[in-house]
Structure 1
Amino acid sequence: MTKITIAIDGFSSTGKSTVAKQLAKHLGYVYVDTGAMYRAVTYYAIQNGLINKEDFNKETLVYQLQNIQVNFKFNETLGFAEVYLNGVNIENEIRTLEVSSFVSKVAAITEVRRKLVEQQQEMGKNKGVVMDGRDIGTVVFPKANLKLFMTASAETRGKRRYDELISRGDRVKYEDVLKNVQDRDYLDSNREDSPLVKAKDAIEIDNSNMTLDEQFDKILNLVKMALKEIE
């Protein structure tokens, strides 16, 4: 059966991971959450005292990259792969607002990006993969068969992220979550190495007013069209 590479880029909290998981499950493809990989490195930096609100020891983090192993293990109960850092499941730990507040700074480091991009390209070399992140269609898989760029208003994304954190039991304020979303937008779009930009051949999906089902149906139709093009 013909398989393709699907690259999903976009701003934070646009539901990239949600629709990527849906697609991968429906198509029987491998799903790779590249954002989780950067979050894992960020979590490592926090746990080892390399980053906080006042300081960021970039040199030490780069030096210690050789000690950082990020991989995914499929959880049959949950139906998706969870993130492991040096053999330890950190799926829940990397989803906190604290990690979110630092991840864009960590992701801007060239050496970090180089290490993770190499791993991502290896994961998708045989196609049959759905990968989401910030630079999948521009850097990781510039020749992906289907490129999507997800967007929504900052307020909509802030509310989604806030609801997600509250449902997990985190004590956060909407204003703080919204500011985090806006700060990440700026950092992701203005970093020197692989900034967040829409690939020229990417299809933009503004899901501000779309239900999950509407979004999935629209994107699945795009997948079917991409598959027909290479048959």
Structure 2
Amino acid sequence: MNEVAPLPSTIAIDGPAASGKSTIGHALAQRLGYLYFDTGVVYRAVTWLALSRGIPLGDEDAIASLARSVPIDLLAPADATDGRLATVLIGGEDVTWAVRQPQVDANVSAVSAYASVREALKAQQRRIGHAGRVVMVGRDIGTVIMPDADLKIYLDASPTERARRRCEEDRGRGLSVNYEEILTAMRKRDAYDSGRSTAPLRPAPDAQIVDSTRLSVSEVLEVILALVAQWQPTMP
């Protein structure tokens, strides 16, 4: 009888904005039957909780305390008819759509910039990740959150291609957008993410770098599925 090759239980996908990591991460999780974990949701959860409790968003200590004390969990959706990619729980309460409110959108960047909040949420993310059978997507998964992930992928694309994708995505939503403005903002975000002192955006030393500039979504997915199939567990 042929033995079934083992699969990596924890898969980290990092990369800059509009590199396709969310689309690819979700598609990969579906193909493998894994939990899809967009780690940005934990920052949204804490932001929503602070807003709902009337905690000033300028009070870093109070928000960090909240991040340490309130359990955040992520579950595969039992019923995805409402379009959810995962079910987000705070203290057992389903807040999947509450954390997507415009007020959260407007404030999550400020909350996620706090070093003490990032440190507090690192433990929450690791707890979810270490349960296994998970595809974790973010900007510092392979370097900070899950440096022990079985398979690390850094998904990249040129700034011009990523700006084109973002334009196409926004126009699909009926928004009026300007390519040059989006490209400028993309480059500014890249510089900030790569240059910040806390968890800068960069590939992990052992990450597999996949350039999606000239590849379709299905082609990128096939490349990553091949990496999954080729993966071998590290011998102790």
Deviations 1:3-37, CA, capped at 9 Å, x for gaps: 42111111111111111111111111111101233
Rounded to whole Å, the distance in 2 between the matches of 1:126 and 1:64 is: 23
Structure 1: how far apart are the matches of 2:94 and 2:200?
A: 30
Deviates further, 110-119 or 12-21: 110-119
Matched, 1:23 2:28: yes
Q: Partner letter of residue 12 of structure 1?
A: A
Partner Cα distance (1:151, 1:161) in 2: 14
Residues 1:17 and 1:166: Cα distance change in structure 2 (over 3 Å): same
Alignment size in residue pairs: 224
The answer to whether the 8 Å contact 2:84/2:96 transfers is no
Alignment of structure 1 residues 1-231 onto 2, 5 Å: 2-4=6-8, 5-41=10-46, 58=60, 61-62=63-64, 65=67, 70-72=72-74, 74=77, 75-77=79-81, 78=83, 80-81=85-86, 83=88, 87-90=94-97, 93=100, 99=105, 105-227=110-232
How has the CA–CA distance of structure 1 residues 121 and 62 changed in structure 2, closer, same or farther, with 3 Å as cutoff? closer
TM-score (norm 1): 0.78
SS of corresponding position for 1:148? strand
Once the two structures are overlaid, the 10-residue window that deviates more, 157-166 or 24-33, is: 157-166
1:144–1:67 distance in 2 versus 1, CA, 3 Å: closer
The one-letter code of the counterpart of 1:151 is D
CA distance in 2 between counterparts of 1:110 and 1:207 reads: 31
C-alpha distance 168-20 of structure 1, shift in aligned 2 (>3 A): same
Query: For the Cα contact (< 8 Å) 2:87–2:94, is it kept in 1?
Result: no
Bigger radius of gyration: 2
- Residue identity over aligned pairs, in percent, reads 36
Segments of structure 2 that go 5 or more residues without pairing to the other structure are none
Do the aligned partners of 2:64 and 2:120 also contact (CA within 8 Å) in 1?
A: no
Q: Which amino acid aligns with 1:16?
A: K
CA distance in 1, matches of 2:17, 2:32: 24
